[in-house]
Amino acid sequence: MRTATITRKTAETEISVTVNLDGTGAYDNQTGVGFFDHMLDQLARHSLIDFTIRAKGDYHIDDHHTVEDTGIALGQALAQALGDKKGIRRYGECHLPMDDAQVRCALDLSARPYLVWNVTFAAQKIGTFDTELVREFFQAFSTHGGITLHVDQLHGFNAHHVAEAAFKAVARALRLAVETDPRKADAIPSTKGAL
Ligand SMILES: [Mn+2]
């Protein structure tokens, strides 16, 4: 079973993340940050990776630590569940439209973390959520998941749509990358023999 559970406790946050890469996109995400839960639900639903996430953080400061540390734990859970990456497709990509917004994601489960982020938000807030935290989440997720992650905004002016298109684009690309390639199910997808 390609599953993993990560628990992480610091003076700032307490997080538990369980993922099942061979799931159905079922989710139960409760981070105490409403918009962020909505985005994590999209990430699960459109990657078909099951997520159970619980987070408690120092909200009296802001949502920064909670969002970032959830990204760290989710990245670690993904990497652990992938194991030696035998049989995966490794690469994924998606152009994801949502009303006015279109976001492109290209990713490589390379174990070489790198984030390219070309997304700008016209608003600083979506409800009470700081839009700059979207990048913070994907930075932490790519670093701790070992993902080369490129996210480029092609269109869009509504911040809710742009953020949601970004999460859905990453989700769809992730779905492709973690799936088994039936033509090469017994091999690690690298000429180095390791990823
Ligand atoms: Mn929405």
Per-domain residue ranges of the chain: 3-178
Alpha carbon distance 19, 168 (integer Å): 17
Gap from CA of 107 to ligand 1 centroid (Å) = 23
Segments of the chain with pLDDT less than 50? none
Tokens 């993904």 sit at which residue?
78
122 half-sphere exposure, CB direction, 13 A CA radius: 11
Alpha carbon distance 124, 157 (integer Å): 12
Gap from CA of 165 to ligand 1 centroid (Å) = 9
pLDDT for the residue numbered 191: 93
pLDDT for the residue numbered 39: 98
pLDDT tens track for 111-137: 999 999 999 999 999 999 999 999 999
pLDDT tens track for 91-113: 999 999 999 999 999 999 999 99
The overall pTM is greater than 0.95: yes
With a pLDDT cut of 70, the percent of the chain lying above it is: 100
Gap from CA of 143 to ligand 1 centroid (Å) = 26
Q: Which residues place a Cβ less than 5 A from the ion ligand 1?
A: 164
Going by their DSSP bridges, the two strands 125-126 and 50-57 should be labelled as: unpaired
pLDDT for the residue numbered 98: 98
Q: Which CATH class is domain 3-178?
A: alpha beta
